[in-house]
């Protein structure tokens, strides 16, 4: 049976039932999704969570249940917060299923029947009209001015016009005309399902922040375990019973585990995400905040991202007619209109209608016959009041017209300016020959505001850019040149021209300002992989279904929030709520600021860890002649008590004005510069102030080396040491705001959260030492007046150490 004869009556109900039983329903394959319980458990068993669970278990063995409970609360809070983020994410395939409409009109047993889309089978005859979502892959059998928006599959902004025998794909929708088509693929066999499969298979790489924090945590865990083992040996050598020595070593190990690090990182990223949302950039995965700041290559769409996706008439040329006359014929031969303030139909034809109305052209007329645009004729025409009105591609229209001087020059000029050109003509009869050329119309999809400026900022920041689009290469090149994206070598390639080898592909594209046109979803995946293989941190923008796999494959996927599909938004890490490319620049700046802030609070935390370890080291090295200045519970109170809020406030530090100058800082979070600052400058200075205050109170209380101080004196000295660490951290918080400027040059009011955090830290200090139940639990006592004076010396000591180090580094930089 031929396609044409098949469409006359369609399948019988019996045939349809048999095929439905054999092939299954017309639905996308369901994917097994992790249950909420499994998602929650996953957040409780990653490496750092297991480390903290182990620390809690050891704390129980060491007879410190309070410490175990506190650590467990930290793990549960972090796990719950991360679970809430993940539960809302990763729903791209789920959204793909929603693109299949609920019902479809088919012809069965010779009659029009409305059936559920899931009941559609191979061989069914689907009856399409404007506004319909296509339910399966089809082969067109009869067509009447059909136009199909395939942008979500192909990235092409211009509607396709399938002809008899041509394809129409599931997930696309009819914007104009009517058609009858035969179903050739349903469910898992459709092109839409193939993209869904790509989306499922594309794995999101770990973010640079996750990789670096993983390294930090493993290093700290290794150090804590090694130090615990050393202290166990020293305790036994100093005469402590093995059982007590083991418990003591456990306490030291637990004390060195940075319990406050994970909540600080998580909440700092959440704070940055809130700030991005205020700039119309919605973060779906917290780690994406920092990843965007590390981006070295941005692959961006053209339509809807760099441009508004709003065609406008930029120029009308005519040898003799008025612009209004030219536009009248252009509109009469079109079906797209601006109706009730909303565009209906082909965006290009809508733009023609808008321009005609602006010029006051009379666009009313009764069409007696219409010949829609098709890729063979490459023109559209209509008979109105016996006259022919025609528009189309210049090379298809000009040969039908009488020669007009200057037309070729005008066409060349418009083309060189990157305008999409239409030729408009009319005739007295239906014959398409010896027509009168009314003029040429140049259309332009204008760039978004601030795009050129945003591209310039990306280049100042050392970020390479590429346009990756489904549009025609000439159109893509023109827009790239207009907005300043096109590189100096003016490299423009199509998807068909891309090398098959990923290494060669990466080498070809690893230049700034490359334009890649006519790409497929598979091409975008390969582009992301090839650039990542070159060592780039790749950000990929997109708005269609076809973009979802690449958005997941890239280091960070960026979707359009207004014009983008749900699938793209769900597959992305970041959603631009205003669709502005310029918003990416603000997000990159916040991402870079977040990286700097992570280094700030890592410096703050690690400095405190030096002060926490020092009392144990001195106790061991002195053979126990110098008592322990801090208890394990005091260390915990520092980590998740007094230190937490200032660390979070450092995570909210505003971006430095020069954050976007030069490439993103590469390498590790903890580099030699940070380690030198912590372990050679700030850490030793705080440890010196801490131990000086501790020993000073002991000596003033009558203690002598080698003797055991009274419990009251030891508690007062321990409280003094605790106060010295807290006050030293107060100064350290301000020192950590900048790696190069001394405290006096950093404006206090630019981070009001830090001022509030310092105030809370001071209140907590008084509570931990001044409330008898709390102080007895922690093992310290309220210091005497001289103790407070000695503890307060930690502030100038920290400031002097920090200032001297920064001055020394500045001198080295000048030399």
Active site residues: 301
CA neighbor of 574 nearest in space, from 563, 588, 592, 593: 588
- 755 half-sphere exposure, CB direction, 13 A CA radius: 7
Cβ-Cβ contacts under 8 Å for 280 (sequence gap 6 or more): 561, 576, 577, 578, 580, 583
CA neighbor of 451 nearest in space, from 425, 481, 428: 481
Q: How far apart are CA 682 and CA 408, in angstroms?
A: 74
CA neighbor of 650 nearest in space, from 597, 696, 606: 597
CA neighbor of 465 nearest in space, from 529, 539, 527: 539
In this structure, what token pair is assigned to residue 366?
């009764």
Q: Tokens 């620390």 appear where?
A: 55
Cβ-Cβ contacts under 8 Å for 683 (sequence gap 6 or more): 606, 607, 609, 610, 611
Torsion of CA 328, 332, 337, 340, to 10 degrees: 70
Q: Do you know the residue count of the chain?
A: 815
Q: How far apart are CA 665 and CA 592, in angstroms?
A: 8
Q: Are the C-beta atoms of 173 and 101 separated by less than 8 Å?
A: no
Alpha helices by DSSP H, listed for 561-580, are: 566-571
Q: Tokens 């008590």 appear where?
A: 641
Torsion of CA 693, 697, 698, 702, to 10 degrees: 150
Q: How far apart are CA 802 and CA 489, in angstroms?
A: 48
What 3-state class would DSSP assign to 598? Answer: helix
What 3-state class would DSSP assign to 141? Answer: strand
Query: Cβ atoms within 10 A of the Cβ of 1, count?
Result: 9
How far is CA 136 from each of CA 163, 178, 188, 308, 365, rounded to the nearest angstrom?
17, 16, 10, 30, 37
Q: How far apart are CA 804 and CA 811, in angstroms?
A: 11
In this structure, what token pair is assigned to residue 89?
């994410």
Q: How far apart are CA 391 and CA 380, in angstroms?
A: 6
What 3-state class would DSSP assign to 89? Answer: coil
CA neighbor of 511 nearest in space, from 540, 539, 488: 488
Q: What secondary structure, in 3-state letters, does 723-773 show?
A: HHHHHHHHHHHHHCCCCCCCHHHCCHHHCHHHHHHHHHHHHHHHHHHHCHH
Q: Are strands 538-542 and 297-300 parallel, antiparallel or unpaired?
A: parallel
Q: How far apart are CA 174 and CA 134, in angstroms?
A: 7
In this structure, what token pair is assigned to residue 785?
């007046």
Angle of helix 261-278 relative to helix 65-87, nearest 10 degrees, comes to 30
Angle of helix 794-814 relative to helix 785-792, nearest 10 degrees, comes to 10
In this structure, what token pair is assigned to residue 231?
């202290």
How far is CA 795 from each of CA 14, 617, 665, 735, 792, rounded to the nearest angstrom?
88, 23, 31, 11, 6
Sheet architecture: strand order including 436-444: 312-317, 436-444, 420-427, 387-392, 379-384, 367-371
């Amino acid at each position: 049976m031929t396609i044409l004869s098949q469409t006359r009556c369609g399948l019988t109900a019996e045939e349809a039932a048999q095929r439905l039983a054999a092939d299954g329903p017309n639905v996308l394959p369901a994917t097994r999704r992790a249950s909420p319980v499994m998602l929650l458990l996953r957040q409780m068993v990653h490496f750092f969570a297991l480390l903290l669970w182990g620390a809690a278990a050891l704390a129980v063995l060491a007879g410190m249940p309070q410490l175990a409970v506190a650590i467990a609360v930290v793990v549960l809070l972090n796990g719950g917060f991360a679970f809430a983020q993940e539960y809302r994410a990763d729903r791209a395939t789920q959204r793909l299923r929603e693109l299949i409409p609920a019902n479809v009109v088919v012809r069965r047993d010779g009659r029009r029947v409305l059936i559920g889309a899931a009941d559609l089978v191979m061989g069914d005859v689907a009856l399409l009209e404007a506004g319909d979502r296509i339910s399966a892959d089809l082969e067109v059998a009869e067509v009447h001015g059909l136009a199909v928006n395939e942008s979500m599959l192909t990235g092409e902004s211009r509607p396709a016009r399938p002809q008899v025998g041509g394809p129409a794909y599931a997930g696309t929708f009819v914007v104009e005309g009517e058609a009858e088509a035969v179903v050739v693929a349903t469910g898992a066999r459709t092109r839409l399902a193939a993209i869904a499969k790509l989306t499922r298979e594309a794995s999101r790489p770990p973010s640079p922040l996750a990789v670096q924090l993983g390294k930090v945590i493993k290093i700290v865990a290794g150090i804590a375990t090694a130090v615990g083992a050393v202290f166990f040996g020293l305790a036994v050598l100093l005469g402590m019973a093995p059982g007590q020595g083991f418990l003591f070593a456990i306490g030291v190990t637990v004390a060195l585990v940075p319990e406050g690090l994970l909540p600080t990182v998580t909440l700092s990223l959440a704070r940055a995400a809130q700030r991005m949302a205020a700039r119309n950039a919605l973060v779906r995965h917290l780690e994406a905040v920092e990843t965007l700041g590390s981006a070295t290559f941005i692959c961006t769409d053209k339509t809807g991202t760099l441009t508004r996706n709003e065609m406008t008439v930029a120029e009308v040329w005519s040898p003799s007619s008025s612009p209004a006359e030219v536009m009248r014929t252009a509109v009469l031969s079109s079906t797209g209109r601006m109706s009730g303030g909303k565009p209906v139909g082909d965006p290009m034809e809508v733009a023609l209608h808008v321009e005609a109305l602006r010029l006051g052209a009379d666009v009313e007329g009764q069409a007696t016959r219409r010949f829609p645009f098709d890729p063979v004729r490459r023109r559209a025409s209509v008979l109105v009041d016996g006259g022919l009105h025609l528009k189309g591609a210049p090379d298809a229209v000009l040969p039908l017209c009488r020669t007009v001087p200057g037309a070729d020059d005008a066409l060349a000029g418009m083309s060189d300016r990157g305008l999409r050109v239409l030729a408009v003509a009319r005739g007295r009869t239906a014959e398409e020959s010896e027509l009168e050329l009314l003029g040429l119309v140049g259309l332009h999809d204008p760039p978004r505001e601030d795009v050129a400026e945003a591209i310039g900022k990306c280049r100042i920041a050392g970020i390479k850019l590429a346009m990756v689009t489904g549009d025609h290469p000439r159109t893509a090149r023109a827009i790239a040149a207009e907005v300043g994206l096109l590189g100096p070598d003016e490299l423009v390639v199509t998807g068909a021209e891309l090398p098959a080898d990923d290494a060669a592909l990466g080498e070809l594209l690893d230049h700034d300002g490359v334009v890649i046109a006519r790409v497929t979803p598979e091409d975008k995946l390969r582009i992301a992989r090839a650039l990542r293989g070159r060592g780039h941190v790749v950000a990929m923008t997109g708005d269609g279904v076809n973009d979802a796999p690449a958005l997941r494959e890239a280091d960070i996927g960026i979707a359009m929030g207004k014009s983008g599909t749900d699938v793209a938004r769900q597959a992305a890490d970041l959603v631009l709520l205003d669709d502005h490319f310029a918003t990416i620049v603000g997000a990159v700046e916040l991402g870079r600021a977040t990286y700097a802030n992570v280094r700030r609070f890592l410096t703050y935390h690690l400095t405190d860890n030096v002060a926490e370890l020092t009392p144990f080291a001195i106790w061991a090295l002195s053979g126990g002649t110098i008592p322990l200045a801090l208890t394990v519970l005091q260390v915990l109170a520092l980590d998740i008590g007094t230190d937490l809020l200032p660390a979070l406030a450092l995570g909210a530090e505003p971006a430095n004005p020069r954050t976007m100058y030069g490439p993103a800082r590469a390498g590790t979070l903890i580099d030699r510069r940070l380690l030198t600052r912590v372990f050679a400058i700030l850490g030793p200075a705080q440890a010196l102030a801490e131990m000086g205050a501790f020993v000073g109170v002991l000596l003033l209380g009558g203690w002598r080396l080698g003797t055991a101080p009274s419990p009251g004196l030891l508690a007062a000295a321990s409280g003094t040491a605790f106060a010295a660490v807290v006050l030293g951290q107060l100064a350290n918080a301000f020192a950590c705001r900048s790696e190069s400027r001394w405290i006096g040059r950093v404006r206090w009011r630019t981070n009001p959260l830090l001022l509030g955090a310092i105030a809370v830290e001071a209140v907590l200090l008084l509570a931990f030492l001044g409330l008898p139940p709390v102080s007895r639990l922690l093992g310290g006592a309220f210091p005497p007046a001289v103790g407070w004076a000695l503890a307060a010396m930690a502030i100038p000591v920290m400031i002097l150490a920090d200032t001297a180090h920064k001055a020394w580094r500045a001198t080295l930089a000048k030399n």
